[in-house]
Amino acid sequence: MPFALITGGSKGIGQCIATELAARKYNLLLVARDASLLSAHASYVSEKYGIEAHYLALDLGQAGATQKLMDWIHSNNYNVGLLVNNAGYGLSGPFTKYNAEAHIEMMRVNMEVPVALTSALLPMLTKNAPSYILNIASSAAYQAVPGLSAYAASKAFILNFSRGLRHELKNTGVYVTAVSPGSTDTNFANRADVGPKALKTAEKVNMTPEAVAKIAVTALFNKKPEVITGFINKLGAFLVWLLPKKLAESTAASLYGL
Ligand SMILES: NC(=O)c1ccc[n+]([C@@H]2O[C@H](COP(=O)([O-])OP(=O)(O)OC[C@H]3O[C@@H](n4cnc5c(N)ncnc54)[C@H](OP(=O)(O)O)[C@@H]3O)[C@@H](O)[C@H]2O)c1
């Protein structure tokens, strides 16, 4: 069985996707910053499912990270047949709360790394066809979100990148799926420093990362182009499409206290 490479496989949605894939007998390559969490999950899945799981502790927000990751893959001759671009985070609050470097580092993790990894791994994925790319977008990809402006824009990028690439690769046996979770009970809100009002709303509609991962992996193997997780989030995206943009944006802004 080829390896599935999962960025952000140490916790949250990525960790649950790793478990789902291990249950389907994929060997795993897990990448994130926290070595101890990676090591614990690699041991857990390899013992429970009898698969190989290796990990690399790496900050994907640093320049040159993709090259380091590819060097690790090549030097160990890992044969990758599935790529999950899941690592990502948000920065919430007014745009001016963060300096340009912070926004750019986030954009590197959310956009640049998925594009660079896709580019570097496509020859191997094509050779291993049928093979898969799963990109984790967000319900925030469907509208501008004041209070998460750069994050939402980065997710709109990944969603449209996925759809375009899927079309380009349609005769190669490499299938691309974008999954857009809404609020999910992970460390995301904490790291994004989401304020109390948005947090309270999120808690009412939160899905579990396990449920999101199940939907994502099912969509991937069913070769779906795009899936929004859960009824509430699907309804939200439909309303955003239906309503005047200004209304959707002012509703989001009020959630983020802007
Ligand atoms: N939770 C939500 O409400 C929600 C909604 C829509 C979309 N999403 C998307 O879902 C994906 C997974 O997020 P999550 O909710 O599972 O959040 P999470 O619990 O914070 O997990 C994020 C994962 O990405 C890794 N990561 C973050 N920054 C990294 C970096 N610089 N270098 C390497 N790895 C990094 C984290 O590991 P380390 O911290 O150890 O590096 C962790 O494994 C993200 O793309 C996020 O945008 C989440």
Contact 78, 49 (CB under 8 A): no
CA–CA separation, 226 and 244 (whole Å): 23
- Residue 171 to residues 165, 225, 251: CA-CA distances in angstroms? 12, 15, 42
Which residue has a Cα nearest atom 45 of ligand 1?
Answer: 88
Q: Which domain holds residue 101?
A: 3-255
Buried residues in 148-172 as b, exposed as e (16+ CB within 10 A): bbbbbbbbbbbbebbbebbeebeee
* pLDDT reported for residue 223: 98
User: Is pLDDT of 191 > 90?
Assistant: yes
Structure tokens at 79: 């044969």
CA of 187 to the centre of ligand 1 (A): 7
- The band of 212, judged by pLDDT with boundaries at 50, 70 and 90, is very high
User: Is pLDDT of 77 > 90?
Assistant: yes
User: Is pLDDT of 175 > 90?
Assistant: yes
Residue 111 gets which letter from DSSP? I
Q: What is the CATH number of the domain that holds 105?
A: 3.40.50.720
Task: Decide: 216 in ligand 1 pocket, CB within 6 A.
Answer: no
Q: What are phi and psi of 150, to 5 degrees?
A: -70, -35
CA of 171 to the centre of ligand 1 (A): 31
Number of Cβ within 10 Å of residue 2's Cβ equals 16
Q: Give 135's strand partners.
A: 85, 178
Residues 91-102: tens digit of each pLDDT: 999 999 999 999
HSE (side-chain half, CA atoms, 13 Å) at 125: 21
Number of Cβ within 10 Å of residue 202's Cβ equals 17
* pLDDT reported for residue 257: 85
Task: Decide: 69 in ligand 1 pocket, CB within 6 A.
Answer: no
* pLDDT reported for residue 27: 98
Contact 22, 49 (CB under 8 A): yes
pTM, entire model = 0.98
- Quote the number of domains for the chain: 1
Task: Decide: 19 in ligand 1 pocket, CB within 6 A.
Answer: no
CA of 46 to the centre of ligand 1 (A): 22
CA–CA separation, 131 and 244 (whole Å): 39
Closest-lying ligand 1 atom to the alpha carbon of residue 38: 40
Average pLDDT, the chain: 97
CA–centroid distance for 173 within its chain = 22
Task: Decide: 146 in ligand 1 pocket, CB within 6 A.
Answer: no
* pLDDT reported for residue 8: 98
Which residue has a Cα nearest atom 17 of ligand 1?
Answer: 188
Buried residues in 44-76 as b, exposed as e (16+ CB within 10 A): ebbeebebebbbbebebbeeebbeebeebbeee
Residues 27-42: tens digit of each pLDDT: 999 999 999 999 999 9
- The band of 80, judged by pLDDT with boundaries at 50, 70 and 90, is very high
Which residue has a Cα nearest atom 34 of ligand 1?
Answer: 32
The residue to mutate among 188, 193, 194, having the most atoms of ligand 1 within 8 angstroms of its beta carbon, is 188
CA–CA separation, 117 and 29 (whole Å): 13
Q: Pick from 204, 151, 214: which is nearest to 179 by CA?
A: 214
Closest-lying ligand 1 atom to the alpha carbon of residue 136: 45
